[in-house]
Structure 1
Amino acid sequence: MNGYEALIATLALTMGTSWASGINLYAVMLVLGLGGATDNINLPAELTVLENPLVIGAAALMYVIQFFVDKIPGLDSAWDTLHTFVRIPAGAMLAAGTVGDVSPALEIAAGILGGGVAATSHAAKTGTRLMINTSPEPVTNWSASISEDLLVLGGLWTALNHPILFLILFVIFIGLAIWLLPKLWKLIKGVLLKIGRFFGVAKNSTAETAHVSTSKPEAIKMDK
């Protein structure tokens, strides 16, 4: 493999792991861990920790849990929301690990790029699931979940075996995400506001409005 081919392979693996992490992190860890442990995937030194049996076991357990949770309307969206704090940092770490021990600047750049890609795919998945949950047909959750798993597996296989094809498809995905995310933003924003109110970060605007509306008549009475 010459320098150009190695660069394309590394770029595809970087984008592939971060993109797939935003959809199903545990499937990514499981595929890379099992592939590396069986010598079917040549992982960079920074990612060989995924071959550890403890890591593989933990990833397999979490994948099984997500497999069932991801198919229950409403619960799948709650799971996705909580994993906002897991998938994006993990996608950044995996992306940084794929470039190897080249230079700190390159690792940081790969991590930033990987985090952004993971955030994009995660937002697309979360917003799409929120939209699907408004449908009265429960089969759509199963279809969406299984399709996402197959998409992750197919995407990783393509990134590892046909990196140029994967990068072309990745550019198409970014274009679709740019078009789709603004349409899903209202749904995502509503969920974020609910989380903010739950943790006390965002105030309840209705309560503030009620307080203002009840305080004005009192002021009028005092003037009279």
Structure 2
Amino acid sequence: MSVLPLVFTSGWASGINAYAVVLLFGVFGVTGLADDVPASLQRTDVLVAAGVLFLCEAVADKIPYVDSIWDSVHTVIRPIAGAVVGALLAGQSGSLPELAAGAVGGSTALLSHFVKAGTRMAVNTSPEPFSNVALSLAEDLGVAAIVTFAVFHPVAAAVIAAVLLLTGLAVLAFLAQRIRRFRRRRSQRREERRLATTERSPRAQAPPGGSEHL
């Protein structure tokens, strides 16, 4: 069977949490739950690095605005991770050219990353921090569930990932309007504060009473 569905699903998941994808595949391979996991993902140093970075992301991803900074840094990292994992999976199975698998995994990861980053920017306009924590937990659990499902049912998991990706892109288009309004309001408040400061300064420098001595 073609490895393309698994590559697509791993690319979608990498755009949300690339370290979780590498860690899950590595654990599945080491424990023998999956036979087609590339040996490079089962290496001890790869598993340790992925585990440490996953914990870092688990913390940063739940702090308002810190999560957006983290997403900005990973705009390049997540698509590269999706492409590498896809190419490794293709090389392991031999049913799909590695270059094509890398393109599918990387482009899918990039799209899902944009959905995640854009959604976080919209959520950060809310004054309370609990929505960030809830969304981050949902993303982590979703990635773990779908990647695990993909190992045993790759086609069904790919269909779910495709639906989630399309839904996320539609939601992102809706949230983009909210993000633009938030930025406009913030710019207006800054401009109002600047004008208020400018108006107070001449008055503070004016002579008391404005009287002249003859």
Over 3 Å counting, the alpha-carbon distance change for 1:114 and 1:57 in structure 2 is same
Count of matched residue positions in the alignment of Structure 1 and Structure 2? 180
Q: Distance in 2 between matches of 1:156 and 1:134?
A: 30
Q: 2:43 aligns with which of 52, 70, 81?
A: 52
Q: Distance in 2 between matches of 1:43 and 1:109?
A: 18
Q: Which amino acid aligns with 1:88?
A: P
TM-score (norm 1): 0.74
What SS does structure 2 have at the residue aligned with 1:100? Answer: helix
Q: Distance in 2 between matches of 1:50 and 1:167?
A: 21
Aligned to 2:27: 34
1:168 is displaced (CA, Å) by 2.2
Contact kept, 8 Å, 1:155 with 1:166, in 2: the verdict is: yes
Q: 1:11 aligns with which of 1, 4, 7?
A: 4
**Unpaired segments ≥5 residues, structure 1:** 1-5, 192-224
CA deviation string 1:84-121 (max 9, x = no partner):
11001110111111112638x82111111111100111
1:184 is displaced (CA, Å) by 4.5
1:155 is the counterpart of 2:127 = no
1:75 is the counterpart of 2:66 = yes
Aligned to 2:120: 129
1:14 is displaced (CA, Å) by 0.6
TM-score (norm 2): 0.77
Q: Distance in 2 between matches of 1:58 and 1:34?
A: 13
Q: Distance in 2 between matches of 1:90 and 1:164?
A: 21
Contact kept, 8 Å, 2:11 with 2:109, in 1: the verdict is: yes
Contact kept, 8 Å, 2:14 with 2:78, in 1: the verdict is: yes
Contact kept, 8 Å, 1:120 with 1:177, in 2: the verdict is: no
1:11 is displaced (CA, Å) by 2.2
Q: Distance in 2 between matches of 1:65 and 1:55?
A: 15
Aligned to 2:188: none
What SS does structure 2 have at the residue aligned with 1:156? Answer: helix
Aligned to 2:186: none
The structure whose Rg is larger is: 2
Q: Distance in 1 between matches of 2:126 and 2:14?
A: 26
Aligned to 1:194: none
What SS does structure 1 have at the residue aligned with 2:77? Answer: helix
CA deviation string 1:160-216 (max 9, x = no partner):
12223212213322432442343345759x99xxxxxxxxxxxxxxxxxxxxxxxxx
CA RMSD of aligned residues (A): 2.2
1:156 is displaced (CA, Å) by 0.4
Over 3 Å counting, the alpha-carbon distance change for 1:184 and 1:95 in structure 2 is farther
Aligned to 1:23: 16
Over 3 Å counting, the alpha-carbon distance change for 1:48 and 1:184 in structure 2 is farther
Provide the identity percentage. 37
Q: Which amino acid aligns with 2:54?
A: Y
